Amino acid sequence: MSNANSKKITSFVYSSNGVVLIIFLLLSYGCKLRNSKAEESLQLPNMIIFIADDVSWDDLGCYGNKQVHTPNIDGLAEEGIIFKNAYLTTSSCSPSRNSIIMGRYPHNTGAAELHTSPPVEMISLPEILKSKGYFTLQAGKFHMGDYARRGFDQVNEDRKINGLGGEGYWDQAVDNLPDDQPFFMWLAAIDAHRGWGSNQFSGTHPPSSIKVPEYLIDGDETKQDLAHYYDEITRFDYHIGSVVRKLKQKGIYENTLIIVMADNGRPFPHSKTRVNDQGVKTPFIIHYPKLSASINKFSQSLISAVDIAPTLVDLAGIDEVDHFQGVSFKNLIIKSEKKFRNYVFAEHNWHDYEAHERMVRNDRYMYIVNSRPQFAQRGPLDAINSTSYKELKEARLNGTITIKQAEIFEAPRQVEELYDLSIDPYQYNNLLLGDHIPTAYDELKQKLNEWVITTGDDLPENITLDWYCREPVNTNEKDRNGNNKSNRTKHHGIRGEMPGKASMAIKNNNKGPF
């Protein structure tokens, strides 16, 4: 072979080897890039929201309630952060859940009233996380809408698998999690919603040991009612503990952010549907040791339910989402002593009965405006059919009721209310009825008006009316025609205009005062 031919062949061999080398390097780089992205994905925090049904802020052990048995939640709180001033945007189940999962105020979701669903084009937190590679799962009570279903890879709402408390599928859900994706789980209990049913924890709280809050009657039936309620909270707590054990067994506990909260206040008079602290202030615990390493930490700062979705999106490394009306409080998880919000807002719309209230609070004062002051605030249908309400009504009739207990029967009510929460934690003393009105009155009134205007809230002329009688009706009794009595009014099933509809509030992303 000639030298020239030899050079040509050698040159060809070198060129071929070069191409092979380049292809090899590109393939290697591609594999490393994919592996790097997979590893990066698995380093993203897993997320679980445990949400109770109808549990007030002070009905967990870690919030100072010495009666209720919640050792698993208390354990998470000891290693996490207890938020002392976390507020829901409403004290009504489906509007509250939609608000949380969308990061929007109820009148901005298109579903401000109970048992209504937002438009299907609305976007939820799980849908955003799912689009970024998260596996998303719901188990337990759903009560949101088809738009929210779209965001979940799995929806497990069948009562047959979830059980009476709504937690029956939670362990299996953890067992079946994919190994190659971060996950978001919305684990929604039916506990502690009425009515009380079969419960393996029945009897955990003897009625004789129950200390009754002063706005209820210290009677045998009320004590039994509260005992059943606490037993259901204990069942909720037990299943949280079971999930935590599963997470530890799988080695994913340390990389899982856990939130424990509720959708609205306890299903008793003075609480559920109200915009006072027993209605809209929620227990809120975050456990995530990767960001918050020290123990026994508290946050006194105000946070709103609309802030939850932006925070989780922030922690997932996703850019800020325009339609969220809340703000990320990631820095509070890192430094719980920091201040966050100046104001939180809440609304009371139709929930069994005609209603329209708005609330704002700052660090110290709470201001409420009631556009339906002609009605007493006895509570929703399940609360007025309770034995606790029965004892309140009996005490009213026999003249033994106290002023604090009688508050639910007051009608007409005051159009405006102002409370100093530093000395009046249960909102008994309306400062607007006194001689000295704090300067905070003008500030909060102005901020509430600003929030109403900027977020597109309104008071519809044709608001939804009462669907049920405002006093209990024994539906097992017969009327004069021999038919079972009905607790339904002539307006039952008829929807009025939704707050925010006229102003197209579903298109309004304004956050309002912060």
- The model's pLDDT over 163-198, given as tens digits with 9 standing for 90+, comes to 999 999 999 999 999 999 999 999 999 999 999 999
pLDDT of residue 25: 41
Give the pLDDT confidence score for residue 323 in this predicted structure: 95
Q: Is the pTM of this model over 0.85?
A: yes
Phi, psi torsion values for 94, nearest 5 degrees? -65, -40
CA angle centred on 430, ends 426 and 435, rounded to 5°: 140
Spatial distance between the Cα atoms of 225 and 216, rounded to a whole number of angstroms: 11
Phi/psi of residue 301, each to 5°? -70, 150
Model confidence pLDDT, tens digit, residues 436-493: 999 999 999 999 999 999 999 999 999 999 999 999 999 999 999 999 999 999 999 9
User: Tokens 């290693």 — which residue?
Assistant: 79
pLDDT tens digits, one per residue of 287-328: 998 886 556 699 999 999 999 999 999 999 999 999 999 999
Percent of the chain past pLDDT 90, that is, above it, reads 89
CB neighbours of residue 218 within 10 Å: 14
CB 125 within 8 A of CB 103: yes
**Contact in structure between 165 and 235 (CB atoms under 8 Å):** yes
Distance CA 171, CA 44 (A): 22
Lowest-confidence pick of 218-227, 330-339, 484-493: 330-339
Q: Whose CA is closest to 233, among 270, 269, 286, 196?
A: 196
Per-residue model confidence as pLDDT tens digits over 232-287: 999 999 999 999 999 999 999 999 999 999 999 999 999 999 999 999 999 999 99
Q: Rounded distance, CA 229 to CA 210, Å?
A: 11
Rounded average pLDDT over 410-431: 97
**pLDDT, tens digit, for every residue of 353-401?**
999 999 999 999 999 999 999 999 999 999 999 999 999 999 999 999 9
Beta bridge partners of 83: 299
Rounded to an integer, the average pLDDT of 420-447 is 97
- Residue 71 and residue 237: Cα distance in Å, rounded? 7
User: What does the pLDDT average to over 96-106?
Assistant: 98
Specify whether the CB–CB gap between 145 and 97 falls below 8 A: no
- Count Cβ atoms below 10 Å from residue 451 Cβ, excluding itself: 20
> Average pLDDT in the 203-217 region?
97
SS3 label, residue 48:
strand
Overall size of the chain counted in residues: 514
Other Cβ atoms less than 10 A from the Cβ of 159: the count is 12
Position 34 confidence tier, pLDDT thresholds 50, 70, 90: very low
- DSSP H helix total and E strand total for the chain: 15, 12
Confidence of residue 28 (pLDDT cuts 50, 70, 90): very low
pLDDT value for 341:
98
DSSP state of 242: H
Q: What is the DSSP string of 130-176?
A: HHTT-EEEEEE---S-HHHHTT-SEEE--HHHH-TTS-TTHHHHHHT
pLDDT at position 291, please? 83
Angle subtended by helix axes 71-78 and 220-249, to nearest 10: 60
Instruction: List domains and CATH numbers for the chain.
Output: 43-337 (3.40.720.10), 357-507 (no CATH)
Do residues 208 and 223 lie in contact, with contact meaning Cβ atoms separated by under 8 Å?
yes
Q: What are the phi and psi torsion angles at 430 (to 5°)?
A: -75, 110
pLDDT confidence tier of residue 20, bands split at 50, 70 and 90: very low
Main-chain phi, psi angles of 502, to 5 degrees: -60, -30
30: buried, middle or exposed (CB in 10 Å: 19+, 13-18, 0-12)? exposed
Q: What was the pLDDT predicted at 29?
A: 45
**Is the alpha carbon torsion for 33, 36, 40, 41 positive or negative?**
positive
Q: What pLDDT was estimated at residue 146?
A: 95
What is the rounded (10 degree) CA torsion for 459, 463, 467, 471?
A: 50
pLDDT of 117 over the 80 cut: yes
Give tens-digit pLDDT for 44-84: 999 999 999 999 999 999 999 999 999 999 999 999 999 99
Find the radius of gyration of the CA atoms of the chain: 27
**pLDDT of the residue at 294:** 58
Q: Indicate if the pLDDT at residue 32 is higher than 60.
A: no
Sign of CA dihedral 365, 366, 371, 374: negative
Q: Which two tokens stand for residue 401?
A: 């009721």
What does the alpha-carbon distance between residue 244 and residue 174 come to, in Å, rounded to a whole number? 10
The beta strands (E) that lie in 133-289 are given as 135-140, 154-156, 183-188, 256-262, 285-287
Pairing label, strands 154-156, 135-140: parallel
